[in-house]
């Protein structure tokens, strides 16, 4: 899938989460930014909708880190370089689609969370396994996100 990523399309908070995801990938010695790295960033940035929702599910950062280390396939990272995986790009593009569907020109942290949820629904993978270990489903996340809007 081709990326339509442009820095101008994302709010400051959303960009912070995206940049943090790259740093998370590097901290796991991965040269590819994956959905699980985005999940970690979504769970660790305070004052975001994803942070409060994941906190309600009692998704702790230590337990999340342990799950990522155990389940992900890490590759020795090259000198501070990371490339986004196709599923990560799908999540970013999905976030942009969600923002446009809602009538917004910019992707917010909420839209980024929706993009992550959609990517997990479509591709599954390590993030889906991690969420299931905490008894969390993408539909439960979506439901909480809808309640958050009210």
Q: Is residue 71 part of a domain?
A: yes
pLDDT at position 72, please? 83
pLDDT at position 77, please? 58
pLDDT at position 4, please? 60
Q: Is residue 1 part of a domain?
A: no
CATH number where 68 lies: 1.10.1780.10
Tokens of 148: 């958050």
pTM for the full predicted model: 0.92
Burial of residue 47 (CB within 10 Å: 0-12, 13-18, 19+) is exposed
Q: Is residue 55 part of a domain?
A: yes
Q: Is residue 2 part of a domain?
A: no
How many separate domains does the chain show? 1
Q: What is the dihedral of CA 12, 127, 75, 4, to 10 degrees?
A: -40
Tokens of 73: 């396939």
pLDDT at position 149, please? 72
pLDDT averaged per 10 residues, the chain (length 150): 68 96 92 95 96 95 95 66 92 95 95 98 96 97 85
Residue 68 backbone phi and psi in degrees, to 5: -65, -45
- Full domain range(s) for residue 11: 7-149
């Amino acid at each position: 899938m081709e990326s339509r990523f442009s820095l101008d399309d994302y709010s400051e908070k959303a960009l912070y989460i995206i940049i943090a995801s790259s740093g998370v990938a590097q901290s796991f010695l991965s040269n590819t930014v994956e959905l699980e790295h985005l999940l970690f960033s979504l769970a660790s940035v305070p004052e975001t909708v994803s942070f409060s929702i994941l906190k309600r599910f009692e998704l702790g950062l230590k337990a999340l880190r342990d799950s990522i280390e155990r389940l992900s396939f890490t590759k020795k990272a090259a000198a501070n370089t990371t490339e986004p995986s196709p599923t990560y790009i799908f999540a970013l593009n999905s976030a942009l689609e969600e923002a446009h569907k809602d009538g917004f020109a910019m992707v917010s942290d909420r839209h980024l969370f929706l993009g992550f949820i959609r990517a997990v629904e479509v591709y599954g993978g390590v993030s889906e396994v991690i969420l299931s270990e905490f008894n969390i489903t993408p539909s439960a996340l979506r439901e909480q996100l809808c309640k958050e809007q009210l």
